[in-house]
Amino acid sequence: MVRGEGSGSAMNPSDVESGGDDALASIPVAISARHVHLTVATVAKLFGAGHALKVHAPLAQPGQFAAEETVTLVGPRGRIEQVRVVGPERSADQVEISRSDEYVLGVEAPIRESGQLAGTPGVRIEGPAGAVALEQGVICAQRHIHMSPADAEVLGLADGDTVEVAVSGHERRLVFGDVLVRVAPDFHMELHLDTDEGNAAGLHPGEDGLLLTPTALRARVLAAAPGS
């Protein structure tokens, strides 16, 4: 959890919960369901030339939105329908799925930070106007926390750090290690987990969690927002 110390933390959630009045940091958590990011060219192939993605619901990260459009993923073992497109369009196609989804599709995707797609497997994507066979771009997103430089400074963290986050769910208390800290000026503080991770912790809106940073600050998981 601590920079340069590997995973050997002596602290456990009980220690921190009973530890008194540490500084309190609010960390909303969003559960990211499977989704795809698409290039302008791929949107045209799947939905028709000149098609523009329509906003279904804005996401917490500024400018990002769940689109009305959905696609079907087709792997060697199976297919998954109604997979949400997340806009706006990007410079590379990227498919983010859970481990459970990988078994359904028959695709083995590595744990990767968004955008790091070299050596990742591809998948077939079907839309209402056509299909594309991606040569790469399928990842299982590394769990991460978005935050602004100001948030990072308060928490004593820097971009690229990894922390542990303890979540107190319904009898499924769990400490997530290897949580990547991502800092950018337009980021809004939010912990992103996938559906497998959220389910493993029994996450529901309004539950407490602890962000175990190098300074062991306390955090509260405010809400679990499905579908982002």
Question: Which residues contribute to the site for Zn ion (CB under 5 A)?
Answer: 192
Q: How many Å apart are CA 38 and CA 180, to the nearest integer?
A: 24
Shortest CB 146 distance to Zn ion, Å: 5
Q: Which residues contact 15 (CB under 8 A, 6 or more apart)?
A: none
Residue 112 or residue 192: which is nearer to Zn ion going by CB?
192
Q: Based on CB atoms, which residue is closest to Zn ion, 143 or 218?
A: 143
Gap between the Cα atoms of 137 and 36, Å rounded: 9
Smaller CB separation from Zn ion, 102 or 194 = 194
Question: Quick one: 34 or 192, whose CB is closer to Zn ion?
Answer: 192
Rounded to a whole number of angstroms, the minimum distance from the CB of residue 69 to Zn ion is 20
Q: Where are the extended beta strands (E) located within 79-121? A: 79-87, 94-96, 111-112
Task: Using the minimum distance from each CB to Zn ion, give the nearer residue, 37 or 192.
Answer: 192
CB-closest chain residue to Zn ion = 192
Spatial distance between the Cα atoms of 134 and 20, rounded to a whole number of angstroms:
51
Any idea what DSSP says for residue 47? H
The minimum distance between CB 143 and Zn ion, in angstroms, equals: 9
Provide, rounded to whole angstroms, the least separation between the CB of residue 88 and Zn ion. Answer: 15
CB of 96 to Zn ion, least distance (A): 9
Q: Tell me: cis bond preceding 62? Omega within 30 of 0 counts.
A: no
Question: Is 180:193 a contact under the CB 8 Å cutoff?
Answer: no
